[in-house]
Chains A and B, each alone.
Chain A
Amino acid sequence: MNDSTQALERLATSDYKYGFVTDIEQETVPPGLNEDVIRLISAKKEEPEWLLEWRLEAFRYWLTQPEPNWVRVHYPPIDFQAISYYAAPKQKGDGPKSLDEIDPELRRTYEKLGIPLAEQAMLAGVAVDAVFDSVSVATSYKGKLAEKGIIFCSFSEAVREHPELVKKYLGTVVPYRDNFYATLNSAVFSDGSFVYIPPGVRCPMELSTYFRINASNTGQFERTLIIADEGAYVSYLEGCTAPMRDENQLHAAVVELVALDNASIKYSTVQNWYPGDAQGRGGIYNFVTKRGLCKGRDSKISWTQVETGSAITWKYPSCILRGENSVGEFYSVAMTRDYQQADTGTKMIHIGKNTRSTIVSKGISSGHGQNAYRGLVKILPTAENARNHSQCDSLLMGDQCGAHTFPYIEVQNPTAQVEHEASTSKISEDQLFYCKQRGISAEDAVSLIVNGFCKEVFKELPMEFAVEAQKLIELKLEGSVG
């Protein structure tokens, strides 16, 4: 074997840089799941009766459901009674009223993560809603957004302040019976973000949430609901990290997006949960249900995701294209190394006339990493002239990793045009040598080529996120110098 192949095989040893634990007093509900725990969570959040009932219904339904058994991902059974379903930093007195009141220890955590929580956020044009374990700690720039009638707050706050909106849309895109983990989330969700953009308003800044799992043995079950009213536009960013722990942690979020007539929602994720160590111990189980409903005509929902973390990622951000001429997009980079497993993709459900969808999926596997693209394109009989284009490219580094593509296409209307392209490649010796001959080191060459491979997806990300995504990929490729 020659140098550069060895270099490639030696990828994947850089340390997880977000693995610190914040030393903070936690208020944690003892592990276990029963109706009392759900009542407790609901009570802590001072929720109205209807929401508690909804949670309980979900829980009772969940009890009847078997745990899913997926083909391509492997993990030991999860003991749902060993997980704590609520953890919050203990507050001194009442909750923080402004950014300055946030626990300094917590703020340092966010600083280490590089989250522009305070004034920098304004400069960067980013409004941040930070979710630390189960409680949303601070939401910046609420004032500025409120001027435009935009609501951007924690889910709990939305339940208190805008119950009519929450009640109207919660569970309309992802019903609590949707799947095992969405059902569990519906029963125990602790916090998350809520966004409402009123008609005709273009949100003037990127809205951003950072999730961080800090407490051990806790699951994170956040719930996000974004509604773009007629003619509204919003771009939403979500970033995730978690400390290093030997045991696996469960993250089962639900995200629901609703776009009304002419509305457009762009949802970007950079997911860097702790992936476990090089032997496959620990790491986050990232079982997430994300779905957008293009409810109105000429509406658009665009998902962009860069998935580099988690021991197991299982998620299919999807679009239900109900409105005429509505557009769904899915741009994804999923990178696995060591013993990471990713099974990700999308579902594009075409219901309305002239609906269009685009899927661009880039999978990168190294080490023993396993990467599967699973996508469904479904054209219902009502979807006259529906169009879909899917492109799934896999890049393999080394010969112990795997890439798998499972495109499911169901066409029930003869006017539909569905195209699917797939490719699997390796970084070629020729490319590496060409770069090296120009003075570029093997390591830089690999990251250059990989970034080039991801280009079509990265260019969909807002600028600052694209830079972060590129850095994350580089970090993940570290240790490749031959």
Chain B
Amino acid sequence: MLEIRNLHATVEGREILNGIDLTIRPGEVHAIMGPNGSGKSTLANVIAGRDGYVVTEGEIRFDGKNLLEMAPETRACEGLFLAFQYPVEIPGVANLYFLKAAVNAVRKYRNEPPVDAMDFWELIHERMELVQMADSMLKRSVNEGFSGGEKKRNEVFQMTVLQPRFAVLDETDSGLDIDALKVVADGVNALRGPERGFLVITHYQRLLDYIVPDYVHVLVNGRIVRSGDKSLALELEEQGYALYNEEPGRARRVAA
């Protein structure tokens, strides 16, 4: 469902991604691991279409469509979701209101009428239970004054309400205790199904105990230097990234 071919991208004129190839089929969960600054968030931002991330080469197809030609909101309406590494605060805009605006924007794109108030209410409450979110969070302004953990939980909550076909989670587990981590995993696992794909960016192997990936990729210096199954994550946990991180030249040889 998501095909990335030879993707090169620059930020402020500096090449961050240098030739990424990645194919994710419906139903698959892929994990991307890699040291800080290796380009994981950059990849997530390029997929989501953020301004300032310039694709200089390569392509991304989403269900066969050219993703890079679409505006970020179109990508979202097509079913792409990004759980932000650093969720943004929007003062004065109630979480619930924001979520409803998002749901209705997607529905409008699909030529569907605005969501029925009762249906929405039920869905919201079911999802809140799933991610163990307090009612009071709905009235609070989007992410304003939320703790780090609440912000991440809110991202997962939004994901489970919007039910995207493809979701990128950017270090949603960072800074979470084990209980919060399980909540994140529950959210993902609840949505997991033959029609959906996930790209889970993480620093730590432990999330992958709960969200068991089909594939694990190691991203170093803007390239995928190694791919494998879930055991690769364990191996990385033991050995770290030092092996891949000495200098870009070597990393490229490993990948090839």
Question: What is A's interface to B at a CB cutoff of 8 Å?
Answer: 2-4, 428-431, 433-442, 444, 448-449, 451-456
CA distance A373 to B17 in the complex (A): 47
B51 partner, pick from A3, A434, A440, A448, beta carbons under 8 A: A3
Which residues B83-103 have CB closer than 8 A to chain A? 84, 87-93, 98, 101-102
Pair A439/B90 contact, Cβ less than 8 Å: no
Which residues from chain A contact B89 at a C-beta distance below 8 Å? 431
Pair A438/B90 contact, Cβ less than 8 Å: no
Pair A439/B92 contact, Cβ less than 8 Å: no
B158 in the interface (beta carbon within 8 A): yes
CA distance A72 to B206 in the complex (A): 60
CA distance A431 to B98 in the complex (A): 12
Pair B52/A2 contact, Cβ less than 8 Å: yes
12 new A-B contacts at CB < 8 Å, known A437-B75, A452-B92, A453-B92: A429-B51, A430-B88, A431-B88, A435-B102, A436-B71, A437-B48, A438-B102, A438-B162, A439-B162, A441-B73, A451-B92, A452-B90
Which residues from chain B contact A451 at a C-beta distance below 8 Å? 92-93
B218 in the interface (beta carbon within 8 A): no
22 pairs, CB–CB < 8 Å, chain A vs chain B: A2-B51, A429-B52, A431-B88, A431-B89, A433-B72, A434-B87, A434-B88, A434-B90, A436-B71, A436-B73, A436-B76, A437-B72, A437-B81, A437-B82, A439-B105, A439-B109, A444-B101, A444-B105, A448-B90, A449-B93, A452-B90, A453-B92
- Mostly, the A contact residues are helix
CA distance A226 to B106 in the complex (A): 48
B145 to chain A minimum Cβ distance, whole angstroms, is: 14
Pair A433/B76 contact, Cβ less than 8 Å: no
Residue count of chain B within 8 Å CB distance of chain A: 30
CA distance A452 to B97 in the complex (A): 10
Pair B92/A438 contact, Cβ less than 8 Å: no
Which residues from chain A contact B92 at a C-beta distance below 8 Å? 451-456
CA distance A437 to B168 in the complex (A): 11
Q: Known: A437-B72, A437-B76, A440-B102. Is A431-B162 also a contact (CB below 8 A)?
A: no
Interface centre among B50, B77, B109, B141 (most CB of A within 10 A): B50
CA distance A450 to B97 in the complex (A): 14
Which residues from chain B contact A436 at a C-beta distance below 8 Å? 49, 71-73, 76
CA distance A444 to B98 in the complex (A): 11
A404 to chain B minimum Cβ distance, whole angstroms, is: 22
Which residues from chain A contact B162 at a C-beta distance below 8 Å? 438-439
B76 to chain A minimum Cβ distance, whole angstroms, is: 4
Pair B141/A441 contact, Cβ less than 8 Å: no
Which residues from chain A contact B93 at a C-beta distance below 8 Å? 448-449, 451-452, 455
Which residues B181-235 have CB closer than 8 A to chain A? none
Which residues from chain B contact A455 at a C-beta distance below 8 Å? 91-93
CA distance A4 to B51 in the complex (A): 8
Which residues B36-88 have CB closer than 8 A to chain A? 48-52, 71-73, 75-77, 81-82, 84, 87-88
Which residues from chain A contact B75 at a C-beta distance below 8 Å? 437
B255 to chain A minimum Cβ distance, whole angstroms, is: 29
CA distance A2 to B75 in the complex (A): 18
Which residues B112-155 have CB closer than 8 A to chain A? 141
A430 to chain B minimum Cβ distance, whole angstroms, is: 5
CA distance A438 to B50 in the complex (A): 12
Residues 145-182 of chain B, each 1 if its beta carbon lies under 8 Å from chain A, else 0: 00000000000001000100000000000000000000
Pair B141/A452 contact, Cβ less than 8 Å: yes
Which residues from chain A contact B76 at a C-beta distance below 8 Å? 436-439
CA distance A441 to B51 in the complex (A): 14
Q: Known: A2-B51, A3-B51, A433-B51. Is A439-B88 also a contact (CB below 8 A)?
A: no
A453: nearest chain-B partner, CB-CB: B92
5 nearest A-B residue pairs (beta carbon)? A452-B92, A455-B92, A452-B93, A438-B102, A439-B76
Which residues from chain B contact A434 at a C-beta distance below 8 Å? 84, 87-88, 90
Pair B77/A439 contact, Cβ less than 8 Å: yes
Pair B101/A440 contact, Cβ less than 8 Å: yes
Which residues from chain B contact A439 at a C-beta distance below 8 Å? 73, 76-77, 102, 105-106, 109, 162
Q: Known: A2-B52, A444-B105. Is A449-B158 also a contact (CB below 8 A)?
A: no
CA distance A266 to B73 in the complex (A): 41
B164 to chain A minimum Cβ distance, whole angstroms, is: 9
Which residues from chain A contact B81 at a C-beta distance below 8 Å? 437
Which residues from chain B contact A453 at a C-beta distance below 8 Å? 91-92
Interface centre among A429, A435, A441, A444 (most CB of B within 10 A): A435
Pair B105/A441 contact, Cβ less than 8 Å: yes
CA distance A482 to B218 in the complex (A): 37
Which residues from chain A contact B109 at a C-beta distance below 8 Å? 439
Which residues from chain B contact A440 at a C-beta distance below 8 Å? 73, 101-102, 105
Which residues from chain B contact A4 at a C-beta distance below 8 Å? 51
CA distance A2 to B52 in the complex (A): 8
Which residues from chain A contact B84 at a C-beta distance below 8 Å? 434, 437
Which residues from chain A contact B73 at a C-beta distance below 8 Å? 436-437, 439-442
A245 to chain B minimum Cβ distance, whole angstroms, is: 36
B107 to chain A minimum Cβ distance, whole angstroms, is: 9
Which residues from chain B contact A454 at a C-beta distance below 8 Å? 92
A393 to chain B minimum Cβ distance, whole angstroms, is: 9
Pair B88/A448 contact, Cβ less than 8 Å: no
CA distance A138 to B77 in the complex (A): 50
B166 to chain A minimum Cβ distance, whole angstroms, is: 13
Which residues from chain A contact B87 at a C-beta distance below 8 Å? 434
CA distance A435 to B84 in the complex (A): 12
CA distance A420 to B28 in the complex (A): 55
CA distance A429 to B81 in the complex (A): 18
Pair B98/A448 contact, Cβ less than 8 Å: yes
B151 to chain A minimum Cβ distance, whole angstroms, is: 11
Which residues from chain B contact A435 at a C-beta distance below 8 Å? 90, 98, 102
Pair A438/B51 contact, Cβ less than 8 Å: no
A450: nearest chain-B partner, CB-CB: B92
CA distance A255 to B45 in the complex (A): 54
A47 to chain B minimum Cβ distance, whole angstroms, is: 48
Which residues from chain B contact A431 at a C-beta distance below 8 Å? 88-90
CA distance A449 to B144 in the complex (A): 13
CA distance A3 to B73 in the complex (A): 12
CA distance A192 to B105 in the complex (A): 44
B91: nearest chain-A partner, CB-CB: A452
Pair A449/B106 contact, Cβ less than 8 Å: no
B90 partner, pick from A437, A449, A456, beta carbons under 8 A: A449
B70 to chain A minimum Cβ distance, whole angstroms, is: 11
